[in-house]
Amino acid sequence: MSPKMKKPKPTCERPESEYRFSSPLGYIIVKACDSGLHSTSLDGELTDENFTPNLREGVKLLGSSKVPEVIKKCSIWFQTYFNDLKNINSVERPDICVFKKSDLAFRELVWKTLADTVGPGEVITYGALADRLKNPGAVRAVGSAMRNNPNGIIVPCHRVVRASGLGLYHGGTRQSVKVWLLNHEGITKYS
């Protein structure tokens, strides 16, 4: 993926705040308005070369005391994801701001369908996800939506794989993160 690729335009004009969590995968940086998450990302410096996961590192919100409801939900969701995965379906997914729009664009629909229908321990190919969107010709557009997913892990683009194997994660620079997440969910075969 080219680093010059266009970022989607922001679709929310509410004030945005930034939060930082510790996690087994390093810092998770969350940007959100009071309506929901805008983006959820791992430390920008993270690559396959410096990835050193540590399951004993707990999920903690760093530095903020008064936080909106969506960030409290986010904290519980990530704690459950990393430390008690079998119960993830019993905790509420933190709201994602863009999902509240009444007219989702194709890319947003891909993210929502993925988050709603592909749970931990499952993988889906780009093609099967396009089929699920009743748009079997849209395999490339699904790939593009995955590359531009602003809410990694919560919108589980790591569960989208190629028919022939793992597929890229973060433009191919975080393959070990994708493998770690899938292994954490009990998946060791990708196709």
Of the candidate spans 57-65, 74-82, 93-101, 173-181, the one that interacts with Zn ion by CB under 5 A turns out to be 93-101
Of 33 and 67, which has the nearer Cβ to Zn ion?
A: 33
Closest chain position to Zn ion (CB): 12
Q: Which of residues 11-30 bind Zn ion (CB under 5 A)?
A: 12, 14
Looking at residue 169, its amino acid is: Y
Contact call for residue 88 and Zn ion (CB under 5 A): no
Looking at residue 17, its amino acid is: S
Q: How many helices (H) and strands (E) does the chain have?
A: 5, 6
Q: Which of residues 115-134 bind Zn ion (CB under 5 A)?
A: none
Cα angle, residue 117 at apex, residues 155 and 11 outer, rounded to 5°: 40
Q: Please name the residue ranges forming H helices in the chain.
A: 69-83, 106-117, 126-132, 139-147, 175-184
CA–CA separation, 147 vs 113, rounded Å?
A: 16
Between helix 106-117 and helix 139-147 the angle, nearest 10°, is 80
Contact call for residue 97 and Zn ion (CB under 5 A): yes
Of 14 and 86, which has the nearer Cβ to Zn ion?
A: 14
**Residue 156 C-beta: closest distance to Zn ion, Å:** 21
Of 97 and 142, which has the nearer Cβ to Zn ion?
A: 97
Pairing of strands 60-62, 17-22: antiparallel
Contact call for residue 141 and Zn ion (CB under 5 A): no
**Residue 19 C-beta: closest distance to Zn ion, Å:** 14
CB 146 within 8 A of CB 140: no
Cα angle, residue 18 at apex, residues 159 and 61 outer, rounded to 5°: 75
Of 36 and 167, which has the nearer Cβ to Zn ion?
A: 36
Contact call for residue 100 and Zn ion (CB under 5 A): no
Contact call for residue 33 and Zn ion (CB under 5 A): yes
Q: Verify whether residue 97 is a known catalytic residue.
A: no
- Residues with a known catalytic role: 157
Query: Which residues would be at the binding site for Zn ion (CB under 5 A)?
Result: 12, 14, 33, 35, 97
